[in-house]
Structure 1
Amino acid sequence: MRASRMVTLLLLLQNRGLMTARQLAEELEVSVRTVYRDVDALGAAGIPLYGAAGHAGGYRLVDGYRTRLTGLTADEAQAAFLAAIPGAAAELGVGEALATARLKLRAALPAELREHAERIQERFLLDAPGWYGDADRTPHLAAAAAAVWARRAVVLRYRRWRAPEEIERRVEPYGLVLKAGRWYLVAHGPSGIRTYRIEQILELRTSEEEFAAPEGFDLAGYWKGYLADFRARLHTGEALVRLTPEGARRLGVDPADDGWTEARVPIETLDHAHGEFLRLGTHIEVLAPAELRDRIAETVRTLAARYEG
């Protein structure tokens, strides 16, 4: 553990230049006294670093010195592929490895490329989850990720939307997908390859049984097909509506030049369309189907009566 910490300290000085003992302690999550001991040990090992006292003092490496200790461990290499989504890396339990991997990658880059990478990190941020959705509770995510990596079968106790609501089954986990802030497990079970939302997993037990994924299985290709099938099943009907320019904009419909626009839009179910169209308020009028128009009219009458009082 100490050796790993001392390598990280060395890489911090190489990447950032002058740093105080307190700054190093905060980065390494140790005491200032521990930093003093580590610095002394590095100096005794022949690392050319020196300390300067005073308000503007701190530790730094001799100009021109670059460590060659930039090889990535297996965990750090995995984490590096998640560099664009640090929140996901933390959820998978590799946040610390990601931080170390970034330091090593920076240390391995020439100065001009290192400055470019730092500008990217300063100016771009990926925040995948939507505005109004709470983050999923994913206590079984790390165990699922470990099973995916080790290619070990698991037994899931899972909550679903149709009866029976709780099921238990043995599955072979092929991969994990992060979509709009939600984690999904792609796994093969009794009914073939299925997708399980991690938040709905009530219990996950990893077995010692190993498996081999089918030759040529492509997680990205499977997910693309899954989404296409999901969208095809999602929009099973359509509605005829009239839209104001604002309503057309919010539904992604090309507006007419003279006010109201008549359009046919896909809908999932009458219940779903009822709620979604009410969000548009006076910017929409439903013409068909008649059942949907009648339900919205009844809701509007109920609201009007409630607010008249």
Structure 2
Amino acid sequence: MKSSRLVMILLLLQTRGRMTAAELARELEVSVRTVYRDVEALGAAGVPLYGDAGHRGGYRLLGGYRTRLTGLSSGEAEALFLSGVPGPAAELGLGRDLAAAQLKLRAALPPQLREQADRMRARFHLDAPGWYARGTQVPFLPEVADAVWRGRVLEVRYRRWKEPTDVDRRLRPYGLVLKAGRWYVVAAPAEGSHACPEPGPEPAPRTYRVDQIMELAVTAEECAPPPGFDLAAHWERAREDFRARLYRAQAEVRLSPRGLARLNADDAAAVAAGGVPDPELAGWTRAVLPVESPDHAVAAYLALGADIEVLGPPELRARIAATAAAVAERHRV
């Protein structure tokens, strides 16, 4: 609706400052021509909106103008209360602040929206970690979060999976990510005595598990992410790169309906993308699944028992047959 779009333009300019018509159009998912018309409508309504021409131009609000719009829709109020996940907030040391903020927000809502927000909190609970995952102790998480926020270089002793396992690193933290109940810090190496090197190519950021930091010191050296760094976009690229490096082989299989239902998320996605009905066994499905390693595939497929048959490659099929024969021999009655 046009009215909500006008409000969004006001809030965007209020929070981000100067924005071009093209930037506003992208945010609002409308045409630039529509933005021009909306800006004219705001000006006609008396909003002190100013437009600068030229390559560096754009729209901005004048004279410290700030909208006092505080209205929330029902869905917005519900989403705000649902988005406050208490576990991660408490891990970051923000549990009390989150509770106080939600209390203030609830008190400011009109009675109808307050009731709907309370129903949302009563009926929905977000539990991010995996079902069988135990809570991991992350003793240095508050310190890492503070260093990310203030832009301070970290000196850490870090435990990794390959030799040498325990290494010392100096890191320029760019951001924190919570994935499946586990915290990661995205950081670039900070080699030498200066956290911010002379202008030049930035070292590629890497991902470190915060729970694998054994010792930590927050230095007084300041640094910031490189201009234009987008944490969410970087994480998405890193995740896809990890998946590509993780799954370097494939297996052709046929699956029973029960086997199909027991697949992990990655294998289920592969079946959804390319699975076809098996021409020989009614109700079964043929698919090509990603394989991390032969050992991983043997363990994962044997866990499905008789609800999966590996058709290829021949080496994997032979390993599963040999392992299954050894298991049968050991359990012979």
Rounded Cα–Cα distance in structure 1 between residues aligned with 2:325 and 2:317? 12
Match of 2:309 in 1: 285
5+ residue gaps, structure 1, are: 1-79
Match of 1:126 in 2: 126
Match of 1:162 in 2: 162
Deviations 1:115-142 (A, max 9, x none): 1211111111111001112222211111
Structure 2 letter corresponding to 1:130: G
Alignment of structure 1 residues 50-199 onto 2, 5 Å = 83-189=83-189, 192-199=204-211
Alignment of structure 1 residues 3-42 onto 2, 5 Å = none
Measured after TM superposition, the shift of residue 275 of structure 1 is: 1.2
Rounded Cα–Cα distance in structure 2 between residues aligned with 1:82 and 1:95? 15
Q: Secondary structure at the match of 1:176?
A: strand
Match of 1:236 in 2: 248
Normalised to the residue count of structure 2, the TM-score between the two structures is 0.65
Contact 1:176 / 1:183 at 8 angstroms: preserved in 2? Answer: yes
Structure 2 letter corresponding to 1:223: W
Measured after TM superposition, the shift of residue 255 of structure 1 is: 5.8
Q: Secondary structure at the match of 1:248?
A: helix
Normalised to the residue count of structure 1, the TM-score between the two structures is 0.70
Rounded Cα–Cα distance in structure 2 between residues aligned with 1:241 and 1:87? 40
Measured after TM superposition, the shift of residue 173 of structure 1 is: 0.8
Deviations 1:257-309 (A, max 9, x none): 72333322111111111111111111111122222222212221221122125
- When residues 81 and 109 of structure 1 are mapped into structure 2, their CA distance, relative to the original with a 3 A threshold, is closer
Identical pairs, percent: 54
Match of 1:276 in 2: 300
Rounded Cα–Cα distance in structure 1 between residues aligned with 2:104 and 2:150? 26
Measured after TM superposition, the shift of residue 177 of structure 1 is: 0.5
Match of 1:211 in 2: 223
Deviations 1:41-84 (A, max 9, x none): xxxxxxxxxxxxxxxxxxxxxxxxxxxxxxxxxxxxxxx89953
Contact 1:159 / 1:166 at 8 angstroms: preserved in 2? Answer: yes
Contact 1:106 / 1:114 at 8 angstroms: preserved in 2? Answer: yes
Root-mean-square deviation (CA), in Å? 1.9
Q: Secondary structure at the match of 2:262?
A: helix
- 2:280 matches 1:256: no
- When residues 143 and 82 of structure 1 are mapped into structure 2, their CA distance, relative to the original with a 3 A threshold, is farther
Match of 1:55 in 2: none
- When residues 124 and 82 of structure 1 are mapped into structure 2, their CA distance, relative to the original with a 3 A threshold, is closer
Deviations 1:71-113 (A, max 9, x none): xxxxxxxxx8995311001111111111111111111112222
Rounded Cα–Cα distance in structure 2 between residues aligned with 1:240 and 1:107? 58
Report runs of 4+ in structure 1 exceeding 4 Å deviation. Answer: 80-83
- When residues 266 and 83 of structure 1 are mapped into structure 2, their CA distance, relative to the original with a 3 A threshold, is closer
Structure 2 letter corresponding to 1:178: L
